Amino acid sequence: MKEPFYDMTDNIANAKAYSDLELMAYLADDDTKNSFIGESISNTIQSVGASKSSKFNDLYDQATGADNNVTAAAYYTARTLDLKNLASDVDTMAVNQLNVAGINKGLAGRQAEINEWSNFNKLDTLYCMQILFICLTLVAILALFRSTGTITNTLFSFMSFMLAALGVLMLVLRWRYTNVNRDGRYWHKSRFQKQVDKSAAQSASAKPTI
């Protein structure tokens, strides 16, 4: 069977009243009161001193920790600055190396173009020399035929003149194309006269004048 709930509020209030009456009776004597007050003051002073000491030690530890944090932050800042300067130096060196590599690449490319132009120019010159050699060989053969009476002097003169004209024409055409029409940088490109944009000229002439 469940027991009924008993309210302890009245008993607690009565206990507090009895305690206050006992304290008042204890403090009724002057000597006891003075001793109690002195002991209470002493305990209060000791408690306040201990609290202040604990608080001071706590604040001192916090200040020391903050100082250590500031020192560590200063070291981190200095280290970060050193790393930043190192990274900047590395970037500068990389940029300089890239610039040098770009210049060297341009020089190598230009040198390859010069070598190509020079080689093809020599080959073309050799081709012209071969044509002249063939013409001179044919003239020598014709001279041999003329000396043996196989051909007449008229035919020899005509054939020699035609061969000489062919050789001179080859030289003139080669010189003119190389110096006038051929591109000065790329051997396999030719220079052309600038063409007038007729559509742009017509559109410009068609605009109304104000």
For the segment 40-58, what is each residue's pLDDT rounded down to a tens digit? 777 778 777 778 888 888 8
The Cα–Cα gap between 69 and 60 comes to 14
| Mean pLDDT of the chain, nearest integer | 79
pLDDT tens readout for residues 76-121: 888 888 888 888 888 888 888 888 888 888 888 888 888 998 999 9
- Report the pLDDT value the prediction gives residue 189, as an integer from 0 to 100: 82
Cβ neighbourhood burial of 138 (10 Å; 0-12, 13-18, 19+): middle
Q: Which two tokens stand for residue 29?
A: 């004597």
The answer to whether residues 145 and 137 touch, using CB atoms and an 8 Å cutoff, is: no
Which are the contacts of 113, defined by CB distance < 8 A and separation ≥ 6?
A: 185, 186
The helix (run of H) or strand (run of E) holding residue 59 is: helix 30-148
Distances (CA, A) of 165 to 56, 146, 169, 196: 117, 20, 6, 37
Instruction: State phi, psi for 182 to the nearest 5 degrees.
Output: -75, 140
CA 146, CA 159: separation in Å to the nearest integer? Answer: 11
Residue 198 neighbours by CB under 8 Å, 6+ apart: none
pTM for the whole structure: 0.47
